[in-house]
Chains A and B, each alone.
Chain A
Amino acid sequence: EAQVTQNPRYLITVTGKKLTVTCSQNMNHEYMSWYRQDPGLGLRQIYYSMNVEVTDKGDVPEGYKVSRKEKRNFPLILESPSPNQTSLYFCATCDSSYEQYFGPGTRLTVT
């Protein structure tokens, strides 16, 4: 079954404690991206990756890092989380027709 998985699904943490949200896909897609979704603001792209070792900033990259060491994985790293990073995060992959396949989402709360 084609799928995008994210872990953890829910996370409550404290300001400044480094965390990583993992994303993995089994569709062999080259393009992967991370979005955050906030009420009234829709989906905003954080980072994207066109292929292994190729990453670029989206619209709201501040406070986030990513890496793409292998095709199937695209982790999102928050080195020093702050309360304004409390949000719902989605990982997505994209096929050649630009159809996006979203993961189930990670709800992050930073206190």
Chain B
Amino acid sequence: QKEVEQNSGPLSVPEGAIASLNCTYSDRGSQSFFWYRQYSGKSPELIMFIYSNGDKEDGRFTAQLNKASQYVSLLIRDSQPSDSATYLCAGLEGGKLIFGQGTELSVKP
């Protein structure tokens, strides 16, 4: 069974800090990874995707992929209360997205 694992949290950080969200995956065949943000009661929305080893930056968000360690992370710099949400990691394998359980992030003013 291919798996994507996340710590469910909640992860609590103060406003302005860096939030670090982590994800591990079991299938070495997974090539691309996606980070989604989901506010309570709403549908997931895509933040970033990454398919190459290393870092990918987009504004306050940085995705990191380490294929050797089967590890994906999302860093949120200068965290804001509006970043409080559940963050879903997903891996693409064989044309299918496998989602982790999600990590709940709370940014305290």
Chain B residues within 8 Å of A99, by CB: 34, 46, 49
- With A48-B96, A98-B32, A98-B92 as given contacts, are A41 and B101 in contact (CB-CB < 8 Å)? yes
Could you tell me the distance between the alpha carbons of A40 and B7 in the complex, rounded to whole angstroms?
A: 10
Q: By the criterion CB–CB under 8 Å, are B46 and A43 in contact?
A: no
Could you tell me the distance between the alpha carbons of A45 and B97 in the complex, rounded to whole angstroms?
A: 9
Rounded to whole Å, the gap between the CB of A34 and the closest CB of chain B is 13
Cβ < 8 Å to B, chain A residues 75-111: 90, 97-100, 102-105
- Mark contacts of B32-71 with chain A using CB atoms, 8 A cut-off: 1 yes-contact digit, 0 otherwise: 1010100001111110010000000000000000000000
Q: By the criterion CB–CB under 8 Å, are B43 and A90 in contact?
A: yes
Q: How many residues of B contact A (CB 8 A)?
A: 21
28 contacts between A and B (CB under 8 A): A35-B99, A40-B8, A40-B101, A41-B101, A42-B88, A42-B100, A42-B102, A43-B44, A43-B90, A43-B99, A44-B99, A48-B96, A90-B44, A97-B49, A98-B32, A98-B34, A98-B95, A99-B34, A100-B34, A100-B36, A100-B44, A100-B46, A102-B45, A104-B42, A104-B43, A105-B41, A105-B42, A105-B43
Main secondary structure of the interface of B (DSSP, over half): strand
- Residue of B44, B46, B102 ringed by the most chain A CB atoms within 10 A: B44
- Residue of A58, A90, A97, A98 ringed by the most chain B CB atoms within 10 A: A98
Name the one of B8, B41, B44 contacting A102, with C-beta atoms under 8 angstroms.
Answer: B44
- With A98-B92, A99-B49 as given contacts, are A42 and B43 in contact (CB-CB < 8 Å)? no
In the complex, residue of chain B having the shortest beta-carbon distance to the beta carbon of A43: B99
Could you tell me the distance between the alpha carbons of A49 and B51 in the complex, rounded to whole angstroms?
A: 24
Rounded to whole Å, the gap between the CB of B44 and the closest CB of chain A is 5
Could you tell me the distance between the alpha carbons of A41 and B90 in the complex, rounded to whole angstroms?
A: 13
